[in-house]
Amino acid sequence: MPREHKSRREVLNAISELPSLKDLLSQHDGHFDHELDLEVTVYGRNYGGKKVGPYVKLLTYDTGETVMTEGEWGGNTIYMVTAGHVEVWIKAPTGQDIKVAELKPGAQLGEMSVLAGVPRSATIKAPPDRPAQLLEIQRPALRLLRKLNAFGQGLDKSYREHSRDSVIEDLKPIISLTPEMFAELRALAQFRVFSKNHVLIREKSAIDRIYLIKRGWLRRARGSGEEDYLGQGFCFGLEGSMKNAAWSYSVTVMGRTEALEISIRTLRQHIALRESLVRELTKFAPPAFASRVSSDLQVRDKQLAAQQSLIATGLVSQDPWEIKAIASWHPSDSTRGSEAARDSERAVTRGLHALSGSRMLDWLSDWSDRPVRVWPDRYQSEDVHRLRRLRVAMSL
């Protein structure tokens, strides 16, 4: 177990040596600029008899002691090295543990587990010949510390870089590029996060970006009145990479959306990468308008309304595994044989297909009667009832 330094003075001294956190101690006319945040973060504060904070600990890890383990879930803390250094280890496909880096004072680690809810990506240890001192920061402190420009910008930069690398790793098994091309892609791609109602694409404007949607929901529309809804897994803008072109539709973000963004101007400077990338990503291009929904106007309107309702309620999760669970659900035995129920199922099925990217088509087409054993418990009651009511409303 690490040894905790109880002295608040030691904690303050450690914070003062960290470039991204030292502004927490900045003063003006004898008063701390962030006095309340400092108090809650370092000392804790009573609100109506309830203690809030402190949210940081100064810890010393003995030689060889583990800070975090690769693959662990539930990370609610990030760390910053304050003295000594720590070693970064990963497990190779052969099962062998490999040391890949050393992190010096000022380095930040563990933030992706907190920000993205993913397992720890590496094992962190104190070196075998000396102890290491780290500042442990709990999740609630991030909202306060983001007010510090250096800390907030560093956290965002780290999140974008890790997320970009994660998307590229996800692409490796499904597109054929050389290792050198993947390295080029990593250097020129950016990971972007867009908020609700952001206009990602404007109809008739020049195509100057490629967007590969990692997570989120989009509304696609044309001035003629056509519209549909699309989700993760689609790639937009490929038609503008080989020659100048304009967008034939607009795209608006329906909620928080994450995407890999590639500048076409920069991509054109890498001819071999451009040709290979366009060839490989074409299979993820969005479908033509109305190609995956009914051509019947009345049915199509119901499907679009269903899609919008599913997105708005959050019933269609952005996790493809949970989408599979929802799409595999059936009404009760008493209605399964009803032709009206089957028509309604087909309508929702087509709506779900239109929401989802190419990688999810096989998952979403699974409408067998076998039970879904991986279905999270929360989908077995209220959400299933909501989906049943939605399907009944869509009966044709």
Q: What is the pLDDT of residue 47?
A: 84
Omega cis (within 30) before 54: yes
Q: Which CATH superfamily is domain 172-284 in?
A: Jelly Rolls (2.60.120.10)
Which region among 176-185, 224-233, 274-283 has the lowest average model confidence (pLDDT)?
A: 224-233
Pairwise CA distance, residues 193 & 188, whole Å: 17
The arithmetic mean of pLDDT across residues 16-24, rounded, is: 94
pLDDT in tens, 120-153: 889 999 999 999 999 999 999 998 999 999 999 9
Burial-class residue 351 by CB neighbours within 10 Å (0-12, 13-18, 19+): buried
DSSP H helical ranges for the chain = 8-16, 35-38, 111-116, 140-145, 149-171, 179-188, 264-267, 271-281, 297-313, 320-327, 333-336, 339-355, 361-364, 382-393
Name residue, tokens 């008899």.
49
When the pLDDT of each residue in the chain is averaged and rounded to a whole number, the result is 79
Contact 290, 227 (CB under 8 A): no
Q: Which amino acid is at 172?
A: K
Cα–Cα–Cα angle for 307, 313, 318, rounded to 5 degrees = 75
Contact 221, 252 (CB under 8 A): yes
Which region among 11-15, 71-75, 178-182, 257-261 has the lowest average model confidence (pLDDT)?
A: 71-75
Look at residue 344 and tell me whether its pLDDT is greater than 70. no
Q: What torsion do the CA atoms of 7, 13, 19, 23 make, to the nearest 10 degrees?
A: 90
Look at residue 337 and tell me whether its pLDDT is greater than 50. no
Pairwise CA distance, residues 222 & 391, whole Å: 28
Name residue, tokens 């919008």.
308
Look at residue 249 and tell me whether its pLDDT is greater than 80. yes
Would you place residue 307 in the very low, low, confident or very high pLDDT band (cuts 50, 70, 90)? low
More confident residue, 184 or 318: 184
Domain extent listing, the chain: 3-146, 172-284, 297-393
Contact 39, 30 (CB under 8 A): no
- Select the highest-mean-pLDDT range: 56-65, 209-218, 230-239, 384-393: 56-65
pLDDT in tens, 107-123: 999 888 888 777 888 99
Q: Which amino acid is at 164?
A: R
The arithmetic mean of pLDDT across residues 58-79, rounded, is: 91
Look at residue 381 and tell me whether its pLDDT is greater than 70. no
Indicate the CATH number of 3-146 among 1.20.1440.230, 2.60.120.10, 2.40.33.20, 3.90.226.10. Answer: 2.60.120.10
Look at residue 317 and tell me whether its pLDDT is greater than 70. no
Q: What is the pLDDT of residue 383?
A: 41
Residues with Cβ < 8 Å from 194, sequence gap 6 or more? 200, 216, 253, 256, 257, 258, 259
Same CATH fold assignment for domains 3-146 and 172-284: yes
Q: Which amino acid is at 151?
A: F
Both tokens of residue 180? 């050198």
pLDDT in tens, 189-247: 999 999 999 999 999 999 999 999 988 888 899 988 888 888 788 899 999 999 999 99
Q: What is the pLDDT of residue 329?
A: 36
Look at residue 349 and tell me whether its pLDDT is greater than 60. no
Reported as type and span, the H/E element at residue 125 is: strand 123-125
Look at residue 357 and tell me whether its pLDDT is greater than 60. no
Residue 359: strand pairing partners: none
Look at residue 25 and tell me whether its pLDDT is greater than 80. yes
